[in-house]
């Protein structure tokens, strides 16, 4: 009959329902469906509802009968109005029910950006769609939506996909980006905003890298990079191959967030708000892995063809180099070229490793141009591997054993970080006092329960708008919020006053902002002092 047909596809029985199924025909549809299924033999049953326009309670009873006989029954390609009925009656809880995907055409749409996993199109003034290269990308789309939600919950500004659509033979995620422009577009049309773009780019990058993620919630980039290094063993001289693997393995495990594809086409400016997109590469790890990816995005891919960056990033090679260098300066908090070059070279080790592996896996050794690029990157990589014994670096951050004897080292470190800032003698004194109080507090109490003690980390960041200094103290001791301690009554007489208890009080009184959090085994105390 017209309303029902059966086809075996990929070892599944696909029962195609169409038109209307109501009190007038439901019993006939059921009889025909049962006959077709019994003749087809045993296999998982799937109902394709792409052409089902209407279903009443009689039709739902028919589906329920099928569900009782076929425990693995699922329904796919359900129109929104039919899906609403199934959801309302609890069928979506009984079995897997998937909505039909509306179709979107992108043939005439503006290409906003291209990445390893897909292409971003603007489909109207309000919306963009990311079309995935993989025609079976539904799992990838689900992963990206989940990690984007995780990032948003953790405070990273990002656009969340509100719809999944069918585009040609593939799938796409739709995002609302009202009149948004990528940083690449801003740089191309308004080069005078270079410093502003660098500033916003680095501020968001630091926010990402300071965000702790629950262990296991995101892929570990260190493990991924170890896989890259193992792949390279067959393509590097023995000594350099072994050393590359050792360099990567020596990077400690780190549960701070990485974006994984952080370039100017993945930052969007929407109504003066900066949003991060393309979240499918989100991971955790040491920032050196992020910098390897950033180096490739601005330099590595284009070392032998400077013109190619215009097509991908939308800016010219010289501007990209200037942006990359300024971003390193700001992130590292230094203009010392030797320090900047040192970190860049370590990033190049990761970057070239990725580039060589990527092109070999894409059959680059089979073409003259591919071999030329691989030979260039390998030569650079081998030379760098010979020069370096570690990929690690510190970013305005000092980690020391949490013992009182290290107070002077911490104080000197903070004072060095404040050199060159508009820090008045009064503000310097107050900052020094706060540093002493907090560090001594950590040294005295954080690891009192552990015989082997532990470390304290002090991070110093200079912020703009307003000009301020941010001091962050971290330890892995017992959870302890010093801000919960009751303030002393400073109006009492000397005879009435208890000795002690003034340290945290003074910190709260002299700093402009004091915050505490405990995240995944880490006490985090942040102090902010405005300098203007």
Residues 278 and 381 grouped into a single domain: yes
| CATH classification of the domain holding 461 | 3.30.565.10
DSSP conformation class of 466: T
Give the position of tokens 């230094």. 334
Residue closest to 518 by CA, chosen among 480, 487, 489: 480
**In whole angstroms, how far apart are CA 175 and each of 43, 127, 218, 368?**
38, 6, 22, 40
**Taking a C-beta distance cutoff of 8 angstroms, is the pair 60, 92 a contact?**
no
Residues 156, 211: Cα–Cα separation, whole Å:
9
Residues 507 and 381 grouped into a single domain: no
Q: What is the pTM of this model?
A: 0.67
Residues 22 and 95 grouped into a single domain: yes
Domain count, the chain: 4
Q: Is residue 247 part of a domain?
A: yes
**pLDDT for position 334:** 67
**pLDDT for position 491:** 47
Q: Is residue 181 part of a domain?
A: no
H helices present in 41-90, as ranges: 57-69, 80-88
Beta pairing class for 45-55 and 74-78: parallel
Residues 171, 10: Cα–Cα separation, whole Å:
20
**Taking a C-beta distance cutoff of 8 angstroms, is the pair 475, 525 a contact?**
no
**pLDDT for position 323:** 97
**Taking a C-beta distance cutoff of 8 angstroms, is the pair 247, 391 a contact?**
yes
**pLDDT for position 231:** 98
**pLDDT for position 1:** 64
**pLDDT for position 465:** 64
Residues 308 and 216 grouped into a single domain: yes
Q: Is residue 44 part of a domain?
A: yes
465: left (phi over 0), alpha (psi -120 to 50) or beta: left
Residues 82 and 127 grouped into a single domain: no
**Taking a C-beta distance cutoff of 8 angstroms, is the pair 193, 186 a contact?**
yes
Domain extent, residue 159, equals 110-176
**In whole angstroms, how far apart are CA 219 and each of 144, 225, 291, 352?**
12, 11, 17, 21
Tokens of 139: 């799992």
Question: What's the distance, Cα to Cα, between the start and end of the chain in Å?
Answer: 80
**pLDDT for position 496:** 45
Is there a cis peptide before residue 466, judged by omega within 30 degrees of 0? Answer: yes
| CATH classification of the domain holding 132 | 3.30.200.20
Residues 309 and 457 grouped into a single domain: no
Residues 46 and 116 grouped into a single domain: no
Rg (CA), the chain: 29
Q: Is residue 240 part of a domain?
A: yes
Residues 244, 229: Cα–Cα separation, whole Å:
6
Q: Is residue 365 part of a domain?
A: yes
Phi, then psi, of 459 in degrees rounded to 5 = -115, 135
What are the 10-residue block averages of pLDDT along the chain, 532 residues in total? 85 93 91 92 91 92 91 91 91 89 88 79 88 87 88 88 87 84 93 91 88 91 98 97 98 92 93 88 96 97 95 93 92 78 97 98 96 97 97 80 91 82 84 90 89 88 76 90 70 45 78 86 88 78
Q: Is residue 12 part of a domain?
A: yes
Give the position of tokens 């965000």. 211
| CATH classification of the domain holding 21 | 3.30.750.24
Residues 225, 322: Cα–Cα separation, whole Å:
27
| CATH classification of the domain holding 246 | 3.90.1200.10
Residues 499, 508: Cα–Cα separation, whole Å:
18
Phi, then psi, of 411 in degrees rounded to 5 = -60, -45
Tokens of 280: 């499918």
Phi, then psi, of 24 in degrees rounded to 5 = -75, -30
Q: Is residue 182 part of a domain?
A: no
DSSP conformation class of 220: B
Residues 445, 10: Cα–Cα separation, whole Å:
63
Which among 356, 387, 418 is the end of a domain? 387
Which among 43, 65, 99 is the end of a domain? 99
Q: Is residue 392 part of a domain?
A: no
Residues 353 and 483 grouped into a single domain: no
Residues 407 and 520 grouped into a single domain: yes
Q: Which residues contact 229 (CB under 8 A, 6 or more apart)?
A: 244, 245, 247, 248, 249, 353
Which among 367, 387, 407 is the end of a domain? 387
Residues 366 and 471 grouped into a single domain: no
Residues 496 and 383 grouped into a single domain: no
DSSP letters, 163-184, are EEEEETTEEEEEEE-TT-EEHH
Residues 160 and 266 grouped into a single domain: no
Phi, then psi, of 255 in degrees rounded to 5 = -100, 25
């Amino acid at each position: 009959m017209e309303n029902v047909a059966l086809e075996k596809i990929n070892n599944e029985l696909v029962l195609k329902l169409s038109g209307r199924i109501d009190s007038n025909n439901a019993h006939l549809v059921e009889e025909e469906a049962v006959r077709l299924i019994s003749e087809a033999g045993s296999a998982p049953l799937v109902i394709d509802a792409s052409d089902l326009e209407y279903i009443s309670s009689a039709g739902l009873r028919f589906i329920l009968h099928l569900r009782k006989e076929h425990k693995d029954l699922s329904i796919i390609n359900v129109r929104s109005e039919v899906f609403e009925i199934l959801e309302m009656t609890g069928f979506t809880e009984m079995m897997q029910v998937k909505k039909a995907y509306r179709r979107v055409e992108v043939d005439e749409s503006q290409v906003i950006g291209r990445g390893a996993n897909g292409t971003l199109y603007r489909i109207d003034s309000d919306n963009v769609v990311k079309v995935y290269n993989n025609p079976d990308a539904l799992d990838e789309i689900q992963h990206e939506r989940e990690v984007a939600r995780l990032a948003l919950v953790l405070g990273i500004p990002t656009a969340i996909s509100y719809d999944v659509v069918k585009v040609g033979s593939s799938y796409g995620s739709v995002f609302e980006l009202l009149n948004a422009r990528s940083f690449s577009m801003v740089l191309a049309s308004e080069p005078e905003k270079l410093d502003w773009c660098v500033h916003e780019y680095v501020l968001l990058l630091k926010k990402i890298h300071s965000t702790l993620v629950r262990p296991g919630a995101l892929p570990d980039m260190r493990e991924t990079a170890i896989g890259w290094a193992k792949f390279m063993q067959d393509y590097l001289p023995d000594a350099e191959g072994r050393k590359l693997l050792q360099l990567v393995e020596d990077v400690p495990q780190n549960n701070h967030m990485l974006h994984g594809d952080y370039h100017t086409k993945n930052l969007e400016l929407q109504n003066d708000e900066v949003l991060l997109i393309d979240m499918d590469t989100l991971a955790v790890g040491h920032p050196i892995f992020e910098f390897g990816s950033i180096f490739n995005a601005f330099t590595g891919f284009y070392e032998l063809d400077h013109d190619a960056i215009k097509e991908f990033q939308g800016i010219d090679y010289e501007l990209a180099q200037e942006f990359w260098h300024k971003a390193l300066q700001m992130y590292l908090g230094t203009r010392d070229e030797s320090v900047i070059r040192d970190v860049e070279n370590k990033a190049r080790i990761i970057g070239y490793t990725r580039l060589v592996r990527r092109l070999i896996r894409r059959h680059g050794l089979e073409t003259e141009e591919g071999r030329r690029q691989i030979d260039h990157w390998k030569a650079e990589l081998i030379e760098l591997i010979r020069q370096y014994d570690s990929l690690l670096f510190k970013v305005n951050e000092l980690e020391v054993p949490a013992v009182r004897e290290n107070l002077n080292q911490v104080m000197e470190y903070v004072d060095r970080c404040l050199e060159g800032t508009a820090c008045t003698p009064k503000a310097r004194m107050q900052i020094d006092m706060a540093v002493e109080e907090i560090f001594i507090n950590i040294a005295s109490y954080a690891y009192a329960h552990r015989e082997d003690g532990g470390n304290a980390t002090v991070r110093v960041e200079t912020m703009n708008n307003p000009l301020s200094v941010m001091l962050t103290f971290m330890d892995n001791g017992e959870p302890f919020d010093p801000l919960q301690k009751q303030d002393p009554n400073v109006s009492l007489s000397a005879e009435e006053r208890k000795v002690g208890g003034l340290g945290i009080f003074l910190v709260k009184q002299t700093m402009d902002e004091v915050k505490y959090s405990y995240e995944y085994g880490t006490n985090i105390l942040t102090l902010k002092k405005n300098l203007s």
